[in-house]
Structure 1
Amino acid sequence: MSRLLNTLLRLFLIAILVAGLIAIWEQIRGSDMMSRFRRGDVTTQRAVLKEVTALGKLELVSYTFKDIVEHEQVNTFLPNANAVLIVEGQATGCVDLTRIKAEDIQTAGDSIIIQLPKPELCSWKINHDRSRVYDTRFSFLDQSQLVSDAYKEAERQIRQSALSGGILDQTRQNADRILKPLLERISGRKVRLTFQS
């Protein structure tokens, strides 16, 4: 009987010793103590040019949004997982000048009439440097997927907010405000801008 107690006592002490060593190792690993033993980092990169694209989109307006996004992942058996993000994003309105053809430019007396392509939302994105995860709840299995889905939803909302916020109308106004005086100075004529529908 005493032999069994001695064995159990030894196992218990070994378990406490192992748990203590693990705790100490985690403390050392999390602190800067291990950085004394590192010489530095070496990163190797080999970038390959994949594609060259000619751009002709004239960016005329940029909207910046700050938003709080709550995303819920509905589960069957587990409680629904939630992520709350504080997001900053940007949307840009532009006109694609590469789509202007010779027949889109007409003269009438001392005036030039230019028909521009309709304004478009040329980009919308989340600024990840200025965004952060505020809170997650019940993300037992895959927190990274929950946060990734929340960011995708936030990006979709940035696009929708820009469109409903009148970014295309503002692009039209800015094209008239910026391009018209420039073209009048260059041509020496009155310029009227219209847009394709």
Structure 2
Amino acid sequence: MILPIVAYGDPVLKKKSKEITRDYPNFDILLENMFETMYNAYGVGLAAPQIGLSIRLFLVDTTPFADDDVLTKEEQDTLNGFKRVFINAKIVEEEGDEWAFNEGCLSIPDIREDVFRKPNITIEYLDENFKPHKESFDGLIARVIQHEYDHIEGILFTDKLSNLKKRLIKGRLTNISKGKIDVDYRMRFPDQKKKR
């Protein structure tokens, strides 16, 4: 089932999420719905707060990035088919020189800005079977994971922008929270009662 994506301005996007256990109600259905919602909106990642749940859960599928012609064959192969579920994740290390990448967010449609992040991360998490992992990632995969991880920490990519950039996009962000935007996927707007 395709769920509405929560728009910028909803308090759930600014809350630090809670850990979950294996007995979380209807977990398999939730995962199925999240993947369906993400693919319907042409996203490469989706975090539970974006569907209104303040829990430490996010998923990624970087396959759409594999079509980018500027990437090497090796980079394309790495991105193609990289699909993961992250439960109760904790980034334990971020390393390297920060690099800029133009990021967007399903909760903040039609706004893209350069965000600086470190290229290498090590993360501890549970997979969809609640099996523990500790892995290191780099490049675009690390970037997508960091973006989604921020969601479960109550951080949006717009929080990482300079004060000037924030002022320049303030009106557009207000319009998003009021639902004054055209999107081709279901959304729930905090300053508007009806869903689209």
TM-score, normalising length: structure 1: 0.21
Rg (Cα) greater in structure: 1
**1 or 2 for the larger relative contact order (CA 8 Å, sep ≥6)?**
2
TM-score, normalising length: structure 2: 0.21
Bigger share in helix: 1
